[in-house]
């Protein structure tokens, strides 16, 4: 009898515990639903589900006092949230479409601005190249015209020389050339003689011949001093004339270079 009473007592306790567990779960679920309704952004759907499962497992552990199985652990593991593509609000879809259009317009403007900048740089580069080619063409044309004019003048000069000696045979031309060379040599020889004569006259004028037979020592010393002073002046004049000649030569060279 006592064993029968004990079995009834344990059955009654287990039934009471089983009766209490379904009362706890709805409360926790209602509490979690109320909290999620009040705070929409506090927890996600996955977190609420995990909290509900943990509460249910705790109540089951309190009633049965057993360890969590691998299935329980798998069920308690948080799951990835599924992205909801449902737009909230009436004007949200329109706003998104407008934002997409604005973004596309901005990208198109960027592309057009870059293309416009590239076209401007290409146009400027092309203008520079055209100006450079035009300049090179002008220089080439000038050089060609210069060569043509020089060739034409050379032809005219040759024709004039041919006309001057026209009607003469080769022997007569050779004889004429020899006569011209002989005449040029004679003229050069006469010019050199005139220069030497002028030089001697100038030296006779500047430095007349000296008669030192009747001079004493004092007169000779004075003569030496005078000659030394004259040589000194001549050296100075020589340097001055050399400098003038150098300056004139440089001026002539500069004029020829221009």
**pTM (2 d.p.):** 0.24
Q: 59 CB contacts (<8 Å, ≥6 apart)?
A: 21, 24, 25
Res 193: pLDDT: 92
**Are 48 and 40 contacting, i.e. CB atoms less than 8 angstroms apart?**
no
Distance of CA 63 to the CA centre of its chain: 82
C-alpha to C-alpha distance for 160 and 146, rounded to whole angstroms: 21
Closest to 206 in 3D by CA, of 183, 177, 237, 178: 237
58-109, pLDDT tens digit by residue? 665 554 556 666 777 677 666 655 545 555 555 566 777 778 888 877 777 7
Res 92: pLDDT: 67
Angle subtended by helix axes 2-38 and 45-64, to nearest 10: 170
C-alpha to C-alpha distance for 65 and 119, rounded to whole angstroms: 81
Residue 30, token pair as written in the block: 């209602």
106-139, pLDDT tens digit by residue? 777 776 677 777 877 887 888 888 888 888 888 8
Residue 214, token pair as written in the block: 């009747």
Would you say residue 33 has pLDDT above 50? no
C-alpha to C-alpha distance for 256 and 9, rounded to whole angstroms: 141
166-215, pLDDT tens digit by residue? 556 778 778 888 898 899 889 999 999 999 999 888 878 877 777 777 88
Residue 251, token pair as written in the block: 């001026």
C-alpha to C-alpha distance for 12 and 19, rounded to whole angstroms: 10
Q: Which residue has the tokens 């030192």?
A: 212
HEC letters along the chain: CHHHHHHHHHHHHHHHHHHHHHHHHHHHHHHHHHHHHHCCCCCCHHHHHHHHHHHHHHHHHHHHCCCCCHHHHHHHCCCCCCCCCCCCCCCHHHHHHHHHHHHHHHHHHHHHHHHHHHHHHHHHHHHHHHHHHHHHHHHHHHHHHHHHHHHHHHHHHHHHHHHHCCCCCHHHHHHHHHHHHHHHHHHHHHHHHHHHHHHHHHHHHHCCCCCCCCCCHHHHHHHHHHHHHHHHHHHHHHHHHHHHHHHHHHHHHHHHHC
């Amino acid at each position: 009898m006592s064993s029968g009473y004990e079995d009834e007592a344990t059955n009654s306790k287990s039934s009471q515990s089983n009766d209490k567990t379904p009362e706890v779960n709805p409360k926790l679920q209602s509490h979690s639903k109320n909290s999620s309704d009040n705070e929409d952004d506090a927890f996600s759907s996955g977190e609420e589900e995990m909290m509900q499962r943990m509460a249910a497992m705790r109540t089951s552990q309190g009633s049965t006092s057993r360890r969590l199985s691998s299935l329980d652990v798998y069920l308690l593991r948080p799951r990835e949230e599924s992205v909801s593509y449902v737009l909230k609000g009436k004007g949200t879809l329109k706003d998104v479409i407008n934002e997409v259009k604005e973004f596309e317009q901005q990208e198109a403007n960027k592309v057009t601005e870059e293309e416009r900048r590239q076209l401007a740089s290409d146009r400027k580069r092309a203008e520079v190249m055209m100006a450079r080619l035009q300049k090179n063409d002008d220089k080439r044309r000038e050089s060609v015209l210069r060569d043509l004019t020089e060739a034409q003048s050379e032809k005219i000069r040759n024709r004039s020389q041919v006309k001057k000696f026209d009607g003469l045979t080769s022997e007569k031309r050779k004889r004429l050339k020899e006569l011209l060379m002989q005449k040029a040599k004679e003229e050069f020889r006469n010019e050199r003689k005139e220069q030497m004569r002028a030089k001697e006259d100038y030296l006779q004028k500047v430095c007349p011949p000296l008669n030192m037979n009747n001079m004493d020592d004092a007169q000779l010393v004075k003569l030496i001093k005078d000659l030394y002073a004259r040589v000194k002046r001549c050296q100075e004049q020589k340097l001055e004339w050399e400098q003038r000649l150098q300056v004139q030569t440089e001026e002539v060279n500069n004029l020829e270079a221009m």
